[in-house]
Amino acid sequence: MRWLSKLVILWLIVVAGMLAIAEQPRFGGILKAAMQTNPPTLDPHLSTTTATRQIAVYIFETLVTYDANYNIIPQLALSWEVSSDGLEYIFHLRQGVKFHNGKILTADDVVASLKRYQAYAPGKRLANVVDISAVDELTVKFTLKQPQDLILELANPGIFAAILPAEIIKDRATDVRGEELIGTGPYRFAEWKPDVYVRLVRFDEYVPDTRFEGPTGLGGRRTAYFDEIQFIPVTSPAARLAGLLTGEFDYAEELPITSYQQLLNSPGVIARVLKPRWSIVLELNQGEPPMDNVLFRRALVAALDMEAVLRAVTFGNPEFYRLNPSFFFPEQVAWYNDAGAEFYNKPNLNEVRRLLKEAGYNFEPIIFLSNRDYDWMYKCTLAVASQLQQAGINVVVEFSDWPSQIARALTLKGWHINQTGWSPRLDPTALGPSLRCGSPSAYNYCNPEVDKLLDELSKPLPLEEKQRLSRELQQLVWEDVGVIKIGDFFSLEGLSAKVKGYRSWTVIPLFWDCWKE
Amino acid sequence: MNHPPLFVNAKMINYIIRRLLGAIPTWLLVGLVAFLIIHLTPGDPAAVMLGPEATHTGIEVLRERLGLNKPFLIQLRDWYLGILHGDLGYSFFLGRSVAAALWERLPVTFTLAVCAMLVAVFIGVPLGVIAALHPNKLQDTIAMGISLLGLSVPEFVMGLALIYVFAVLLRWFPAGGYVSFTENFPRALLHIAMPASSLGFIQAALIARMTRAAMLEVLNADFIHTARAKGLPEATVIWRHAFRNAMLPIITVIGLAFTLLLGGAFITEVVFRIPGMGLLTISAVKRRDYPVVQGALLILASFVLLMNLLVDLAYAYFDPRIQYD
């Protein structure tokens, strides 16, 4: 019997060893990721689209970035100092960081990149910066008009303040393409065949950030294990699902929620609920009567049963939605708060009738813009429209495709409600484009108090103070009904069980420190 | 059977030249319609490119750079002038000329359409002949039932059903993608099999119905009775006498089916991720890449015109009584 027990122990050791080897990161292989769309451009400065961002984070790096807990951490910056009047920022750069063309990063590259970002990135970036200059080879100085928390703006992954070599990016008006897509990231650009793939290959001379023990969020010590990553645009969700199930793709984003159970039952595939993902939001054209009347806007809020809407969007699966009055997600510990919760998800038809009467609403048609491109927006619109109609509001839904909807909304005329979704806003100032007076995508909403709070929030203040102001801002927007937050919506992504070490950060799948068995 | 010398006939060449010249106004009109459709559709390429957080100023700067702020008629004139010089324009999303982008995709769509056509003919013609040989019997009902199914099922449903059964459940074929025949023949065949079947099956229905009708008409003609009375074998009667004489309407429908196939290929390419002209055009519509959409529609229209001409020429080949004046 003794030999038998020895054999069992030996077998257990072998199995444990094999398991340990399987869990060990290993270099090599190609990762194929099925993405829902082609990026419009890979120039990180020129587009705010998710598809561009999802690829740019592999090729490019920024001075500062976000960690896994949504805190800002240095990336290409070694450290920074702020002058006592808040008008000067000095950034010291890491030494020996290499671009994909072999050149070493210097202050000139940072100056050329960020001046180009300031001049051409959509959305008036670095508008408060009057000068960016190189102090020495590894030091950059920013001079501001007014005190501002510049770090927040430089870390914004919505529109990537990426650093490219000066000789490519200096005064560049046209978009950067092909072999000129050079950054300092762990992967370098190899090939882009529209509709087929964007191919990135490992940058073997990548200089990891050794100040960190491992990767965190978009930064930290990143290691590229795959030889190659292919981002394959697959517009049909059913085709992404089929490709994942047959093993043609290692990863697929935005899968139909209805396939969740099928994925859970499929061996070799892992289903993942991606959170946080979207805030479902109704934007209101406040220049168009009766939407200019706050009483009417409050009637809309009182008419909505948010949970019922979210159930309609997610086929009633609670894993894919969350009631949340905040413009931030609970995962964003620094900014999440429940201000305005007293207005949220409190449907009350008597209150609706009273408010509509007071507002003098006379059953005028309320034009609701939406689209069928995003199934969750489509379903949300149907559910919201039905609830509003039941509450006695004459809602007329107009569907078009997404680009047409954006174009129509930006005319600021002839519509009242715009169905949309917000990807995670990483700090309160990121709400500016949707809330500030005169901003096109604030759709005529204007409250000077809101602008004042946003101005305050952009200053370099202690975190506690900013949290207080952020809470005040959220409360004010709910009272004023600047926009209507419906709730949080999560999406489904699928992964081959052979892929290990996978994480995601907001809408960005992270394939560094990730490997295949 | 002696065929007229097809391509050495002066009348024929004259006819072809006249048809090609006659196609120019149609072609220009199609160009105008393509231009109007995409330009009058709301949505701005600059806004799509810059993303949802773009400012008005940013959009205006990009519009100017892309030449989109020029007056509408000037843009139309420039485009027409470009076409006359053989220049279909420049795609700002692809960063290359439209002609080059379309030229690269054309063989892919063409391969898909030809494979689908083969599927359509190899299913459609035998089904139609079988149905015609057994009118109102079980064989006819089954053949026409299959054809009705093909006519009723939209391309994308057929495509997804095939993917689910043959790729996901049985794992016989890949769920999508494309491999060129010159690159790897067996893999190319595996990749094209399902899209070509999904597209071809639908057209097979049309061909089967037309073959049945044409064959039924011919099978009741006197010369068939004579052929049978002469004691010719049944296969000879059917294929040499009946089928050859029924070819005319079948060719028309095959020509028509080919143009429909090119249109259907647009949907099939999306479902099966085939990087052909269809996928390019649909992506271009979504991002409002005007020059690509216009160029693709123009090329598609040229194919339809060319196909119609080829069908007309084929008539003379199969029916020597037809003369071109």
DSSP string over B133-186: HSTTSHHHHHHHHHHHHHHHS-HHHHHHHHIIIIIIIS--S-SS----TTT-HH
B1: pLDDT strictly greater than 50: no
Torsion of CA B104, B30, B47, A217, to 10 degrees: -30
| Residue B192 CB partners (closer than 8 Å, separation 6+) | B111, B112, B115, B178
**Other Cβ atoms closer than 10 A to A343:** 17
Would the ipTM clear 0.90, i.e. be above it?
no
Beta strands A77-82; A88-93: pairing state: antiparallel
Shortest CA distance from A158: residue in chain B: B53
> Which of A236, A248, A283 to substitute to test the interface with B, most B CBs within 10 Å?
A236
- Asked if the Cβ–Cβ distance from B55 to A408 is below 8 Å, we say no
Q: Which residues contact B14 (CB under 8 A, 6 or more apart)?
A: B324
CA-closest candidate to residue A60, choices A201, A186, A198: A186
3-class DSSP state for residue A516?
Answer: strand
Q: Quote the tokens at residue A425.
A: 């806003």
Compute the distance between CA of residue B95 and CA of residue B164 in angstroms, rounded to an integer. Answer: 36
What's the pLDDT at A3? 66
Are the CB atoms for B128 and B211 separated by under 8 Å?
A: yes
Compute the distance between CA of residue B27 and CA of residue A376 in angstroms, rounded to an integer: 41
Q: How close are the terminal C-alpha atoms of chain A, in Å?
A: 36
Chain A residue with minimum CA distance to B276: A195
Q: How confident is the model at residue B45 (pLDDT cuts 50, 70, 90)?
A: confident
DSSP assignment of A328-369, as one string? S-TT-TTT---TTTTTTT---HHHHHHHHHHHT-----EEEE
Calpha distance A336→A339 (Å, rounded): 9
Q: How far apart are CA A246 and CA B127, in angstroms?
A: 33
Q: Whole-angstrom Cα distance, residue A215 to residue A503? A: 10
**Contact status of A30 with chain B (Cβ, < 8 Å):** no
User: Which residues of chain A neighbour B93 with C-beta distances below 8 Å?
Assistant: 40-41, 194
Comparing alpha-carbon positions, the chain B residue that sits nearest to A174 is B65
CB A123 to CB B58 under 8 A?
yes
The partner residue sitting opposite B49, judged by closest CB among A40, A173, A178, is: A40
> Touching check for B272 and chain A: CB below 8 Å?
yes
Smallest Cβ–Cβ distance between B42 and the set A175, A178, A400 belongs to A400
pLDDT score for B56 = 63
pLDDT per residue over A383-405, tens digit each?
999 999 999 999 999 998 877 88
- Chain A's closest residue to B55, CA to CA, is A123
Q: Does the CB of A248 have a partner CB in chain B at under 8 Å?
A: yes
pLDDT at A494: 96
In chain A, which residue's Cα lies nearest the Cα of B95?
Answer: A177
- Is pLDDT of B68 > 90? no
Residues in chain A within 8 Å Cβ distance of B170: none
A235/B282 Cβ within 8 A: yes
Does the distance separating the beta carbons of A248 and B174 come in below 8 Å? Answer: yes
Q: Tell me which chain B residues have a C-beta less than 8 angstroms from the C-beta of A196.
A: 275
Q: Give yes or no for a contact between B79 and B112, defined as CB atoms under 8 angstroms apart.
A: no
Residue of A493, A512, A502 lying closest to A34 (CA atoms): A493
**Whether B39 contacts chain A with CB within 8 A:** no
Contact A193/B at CB under 8 A: yes
Is residue A78 predicted with pLDDT exceeding 80? Answer: yes
Please give the Cα distance from A268 to A244 (Å, whole number). Answer: 10
Condensed to tens digits (0 to 9), the pLDDT of residues A470-512 reads 999 999 999 999 999 999 999 999 999 999 999 999 889 999 9
User: A403 in contact with B at a CB cutoff of 8 Å?
Assistant: yes
- Interface mutation vs chain A, best among B37, B38, B49, most A CBs within 10 Å: B49
Rounded to two decimals, the pTM is 0.85
Task: Name the DSSP letter for residue A111.
Answer: H
The verdict on a CB contact (< 8 Å) between A122 and B58 is yes
Whether pLDDT at A250 is above 60:
yes
B-interface mutation test, from A30, A195, A429, most B Cβ less than 10 A away: A195
Residues whose CB falls within 8 Å of the CB of residue B267, separated by 6 or more in sequence, listed in order: B154, B155, B156, B159, B278
Task: Report how far residue A33's alpha carbon sits from residue A229's, in angstroms, rounded to the nearest whole number.
Answer: 8
Q: How do the domains of chain B map onto residue ranges?
A: 10-98, 105-286
Q: What is the mean pLDDT of residues A127-147?
A: 96
Single out the residue of A260, A255, A62, A294 nearest to residue A157, CA to CA.
A62
CB contact under 8 A, A235 and B174: no
Average pLDDT, integer, range B56-68? 71
Cβ pair A194:B272 closer than 8 A: no
Cα–Cα distance, A302 to A388 (Å, whole number) = 10
Reported as a pLDDT band with limits 50, 70 and 90, residue B70 is confident
Phi-psi region of B56 (alpha: psi -120 to 50; beta: other; left: phi over 0): alpha
Amino acid B62: pLDDT? 73
B178/A196 Cα distance (integer angstroms)? 9
Classify domain B105-286 by CATH number.
1.10.3720.10
pLDDT of residue A75: 97
Q: Which residues in chain A are closer than 8 Å to B55, comparing Cβ atoms?
A: 122-124, 440
Instruction: In whole angstroms, give the CA distance from residue B325 to residue B311.
Output: 16
CB pairs under 8 A between A and B: 130
pLDDT for the residue A335: 94
Asked if A4 has any chain B CB less than 8 Å from its own CB, the reply is: no
Rounded alpha-carbon distances, angstroms, from residue A360 to A295, A343, A355, A394, A438: 9, 21, 9, 14, 27
pLDDT of residue B44: 73
Closest Cα to residue B291, out of B113, B93, B134, B156? Answer: B93
A292: pLDDT strictly greater than 70: yes
Q: Please return the burial class of A233, using the count of CB atoms within 10 Å of its CB with bins 0-12, 13-18 and 19+.
A: buried
- pLDDT tens string A24-50: 899 999 999 999 888 888 999 988 788
DSSP A455-496: HHHTS---HHHHHHHHHHHHHHHHHHTSEEEEEEEEEEEEEE
Residue A47 contacts B, CB cutoff 8 Å: yes
Is the Cβ–Cβ distance between A4 and A223 less than 8 Å? no
> Which residue from B253, B257, B283 is spatially nearest to B269, judged by alpha carbons?
B283
Residue with tokens 């006379």: A362
Cβ-defined contact of B160 to A40 (cutoff 8 Å):
no
Would you state the pLDDT for residue A404?
80
Tokens of A442: 């604030």
Across the range B276-303, mean pLDDT stands at: 87
Tens digit of each residue's pLDDT (9 = 90 or more) over B165-179: 999 899 999 999 899
Those residues whose C-beta lies under 8 Å from the C-beta of residue A183, and which sit 6 or more positions away, are: A44, A59, A60, A61, A99, A100, A162, A163, A164
Residues of B whose CB is below 8 A from A172: none
Smallest Cα distance from A195 to chain B, Å? 6
Beta-bridge partners for A395: A366
Q: What is the mean pLDDT of residues B57-69?
A: 72
